[in-house]
Chain A
């Protein structure tokens, strides 16, 4: 970090900083490498003596995908999670964009008040209300159902409008004014002008809404409590595989499952990455 702006000596190689970086990178990659190695090992249980498995094979993947049983319904979990994620993505994106547009581009009396209420609600721990939501869903017989999960994930998604609002704030108001003079309604300004201009934030919002069910563990655990493996999402299912009684039978499959789940998530993440920083900084600075 010394003299970071010295323009000279570009070609010199500085070994110390590269060794530090290499050490850090290894530290960060070890768990990932271990996950991969375990997923290709033949042993079902966790190896405690070898870091590298003695023999590499695809048996864990084969068992995971084709040998379903009471504790392993991986293909089913993927499908469940995908459906929940897809619907959540659709509904949440609409909700978020709607709220963000109203808060960013329109002026009305209750605007500030609603924004403050939203902020206060955000300070309550999320699953305090979850417990009551569980009972509400139970009275409508929607626990242990995927429709219930979709509702739980997407119903309150409008509260996460801040990042999108930050983005809309950067679109000049003069553009909307010009459209209004040309006779466009607010509705067509929203759909014809703002939405086509907001591709980055739509991608960001929809991908993060799509990812939520894949990585959420706690809401799924509260809502899907029947104990029937077929109902679960991926997160819940993989957690169940490492249950104390099952750990020694399913550890290999858990790792294989972890690898398989990571593939779509990392692809989406690479797409979203570009907008991630923009979202964090614009959303928070202008919130």
Chain B
């Protein structure tokens, strides 16, 4: 880890020392390139590149004057002019003043910063390029023609050609949005500060403090603790019930004593064919308070039996499958087993078939019973092959929006006033809470803070899991 970091710093150091060398040892045209990009290229008679670089510079300067500078100037305050309407005597109507939109200022500033960074990279590489042309000239080599450059873009620099567009997409639609949302965690962007009607501004760590405090006015601390605990419980339970359920089912079906293997497998795989949102919405009506399952349960007397045991409150004449917090949590896990086990069945079947059969034969000869075989052969093999997948699915379950949202939205209402004050519910995961805060209550600042906390939780889990569960070299970890 430390070595990698040093290597990383080293490569950054190299990057800038190369640039320094180009500036110091470059001739007048390279130095002129510092101000007029492309000068060095034009001097070496590479006019097309020279003009192109100059055009980029002109474009950037225009962009800086019209877009970057005005936005970055307001970045510190995120705008000061509030939107107001006044009567215009000339036009004879109400018109808006020239107000600031805090969100646009923030968004455009981030885009500006990224644009500056990209321009700086082009600038540095243009000077390095000019210097390398100079060196070639001094050594009497012929500088590469455009055809050479195209050929190098198809060969040793092909990765740049391949990665340019996909990485551009990721920068625009993942990285910039993420930076914006992380910034929002440090602002006052919420229902009372909604652009364009109102301004928001920087508030430092106040939102993070709010997430951890419980007071008379704010119950975020209480809700966060409760929901984080349920999120973790859910992630672990959902992952492991599906994992072991899938393996058990796969072993049951693939066992030699089971007949009609294909038919059984198909039965479970059909469940995957119907899109998740259809089955989840259906199942939620299935288990509604006045739904068909409740009718059947009361007809066969299960409802009154559960009432007698005390699992159903006496004042209800139905089983609150999705409306009572504890029942709902139980049902969510059960329904998630229904949704997830077929996938694991598919995966486990594939992997189980790959386990060398002679391992089992040897174990049988040594007198190992089937449970020992399962514990000493099947599980280690499965865990080795699916280890990274398992960690990945814990993280995915922390972010498992669909199951919880589709099953409980508009169905489950909380009776816990403290949770309700911060718009949370017992069944919420951090992500569904985040979604409700933005979608229904426009509390973007707290949603961003929660999003960052989800990231922190996922990162900790991933790091710990990869460092302690899967030690050493993956390729050599499993010696069969």
Contact = CB atoms under 8 A, between A and B. Distances in A.
Per DSSP, are chain A's interface residues mostly helix, strand or loop, or mixed?
A: helix
A239 interface: yes
A258 B350 contact: no
A242 B291 CA distance: 14
Interface in B215-271: 249, 251-253, 255-259, 264, 267-271
B252 A133 contact: no
Interface stretch (B49-57, B80-88, B159-167): B159-167
Contact of B258 (A18, A27, A265): A18
Contacts of A108: 159
Nearest to B174: A156
Interface string A182-213: 00011100100000000000000000000000
B455 A123 contact: yes
A13 B258 CA distance: 8
A25 B264 contact: yes
A217 B431 contact: no
A28 B271 CA distance: 7
B386 A17 contact: no
A156 B177 CA distance: 12
Q: Which 4 A-B pairs have CB atoms at the shortest separation, nearest pair first?
A: A158-B166, A277-B350, A266-B273, A132-B177
A127 B350 contact: no
A66 interface: no
Interface string A1-25: 1111110001011100110110011
Contact of B107 (A109, A112, A114, A139): A139
Contacts of A261: 275, 278
Contacts of A215: 275-277
A247 B410 CA distance: 12
A165 to B, nearest CB: 12
Contacts of A51: 292, 296
B67 interface: no
Given A1-B251, A31-B282, A102 B373 contact: no
Nearest to B294: A48
Interface string A23-37: 011011101101100
Contacts of A284: 386-389, 392
Interface stretch (A55-63, A71-79, A147-155): A147-155
B281 A135 contact: no
Nearest to A269: B273
Interface stretch (B22-30, B40-48, B200-208, B395-403): B395-403
A262 B273 CA distance: 6
B173 interface: yes
Nearest to B172: A155
Given A4-B370, A280-B389, A25 B268 contact: yes
A99 to B, nearest CB: 5
B459 A28 contact: no
24 contacts: A1-B252, A4-B256, A5-B357, A10-B256, A17-B258, A25-B264, A28-B338, A31-B279, A32-B270, A46-B285, A48-B292, A49-B292, A106-B158, A113-B8, A120-B459, A124-B454, A136-B172, A159-B170, A186-B158, A215-B276, A222-B439, A254-B281, A277-B347, A277-B351
Contacts of B4: 112
Contacts, number: 285
Contact of A262 (B264, B278, B392): B278
B405 A124 contact: no
Interface of B: 4, 8, 11, 103-104, 107, 151, 154-156, 158-159, 161-163, 165-167, 169-170, 172-178, 180-181, 184, 249, 251-253, 255-259, 264, 267-279, 281-283, 285-286, 288, 290-292, 294-296, 338, 342, 346-347, 349-351, 357, 360-361, 364, 369-370, 373-374, 385-389, 392, 395, 399, 401-402, 405-406, 410, 430-431, 434-435, 438-439, 444, 447-448, 451, 454-455, 458-459, 462, 474
A41 to B, nearest CB: 12
Given A28-B268, A29-B270, A281 B178 contact: no
Contact of B402 (A133, A218, A247): A218
Nearest to B401: A218
Question: Contact residue range for chain A?
Answer: 35 or more
Contacts of B252: 1, 17, 20-21
B257 A17 contact: yes
A138 to B, nearest CB: 10
A273 interface: yes
Contacts of A172: none
Interface string A150-189: 0110111111000000000000000000000000011100
A128 B458 CA distance: 14
A269 B272 contact: yes
B158 A187 contact: yes
